[in-house]
Amino acid sequence: MFHKEGHKIIFITLVIVVGSFFLIDGLVTNEWLRKGLMIAVLVFFILILQFFRNPKRHTHANEKQALSPVDGKVVVIEEVLENEVFKDKRIQVSVFMSPLNVHVTRYPIGGNISYSKYHPGKYLVAWHPKASEENERTTVVVENESFGKVLYRQIAGALAKRIVNYATLNSRATQGADSGFIKFGSRVDLFLPLDADIKVELNQKVRGGESIIAEMK
């Protein structure tokens, strides 16, 4: 299954690939070069397909648990001052996505969406310390009785040129459901209450909609 955000790009890429095959076959006379170019074009198409894949995830909804919003590797676990919404200290857990990861963003908790805002910005590499505040990004806050308010932030990276956010103000978020998409590599920051029990470690690989990031006691 492929994400709807990739349907147009996949179709355009397929047309380019088919056209390239005809051009290579008609213009390149060296057999090894012809086969090599065709394989390279095919590999490129496969990479596009895998980037926009949208595998089904088995989310076990639990109001006391916050799940990873994306696939990737945990690169930050620290207490920080969150300046956009809360204006106080929170535990930040950041997950970095390589171009090979699934790039669907999912709601970490279920509840009411009380904040959703897009910010234009730069395209610093996703692991840059200032990326969270200076890069193109979206900020969404979901709240429920167990966690109170949980903020997650989609952050564009050096390759990501478009962030898609489906979260709309005052609508209902379903834990693990599709909340957006980041095209071509980036990261997501999750801001949790200070009394949340963090269940992941640095450099741990996580799966969106399945891996437990934190739990409320």
User: Active-site residues: which are they?
Assistant: 186
Question: Which is nearest to 43 in space by CA: 20, 68, 64?
Answer: 20
CA 55 vs CA 28, 111, 187: distances in Å: 38, 23, 19
Phi, psi of 102 (to 5 degrees): -65, 135
Q: How many CB atoms lie within 10 A of CB 147?
A: 23
3-state DSSP assignment of residue 107: coil
Phi, psi of 76 (to 5 degrees): -145, 130
3-state DSSP assignment of residue 71: coil
The whole-angstrom separation of Cα 210 and Cα 175 is 10
- Burial class of residue 179 in the structure, from the number of CB atoms within 10 Å of its CB (0-12 exposed, 13-18 middle, 19+ buried): buried
**Residue length, the chain?**
217
Q: How many CB atoms lie within 10 A of CB 117?
A: 15
The whole-angstrom separation of Cα 94 and Cα 30 is 49
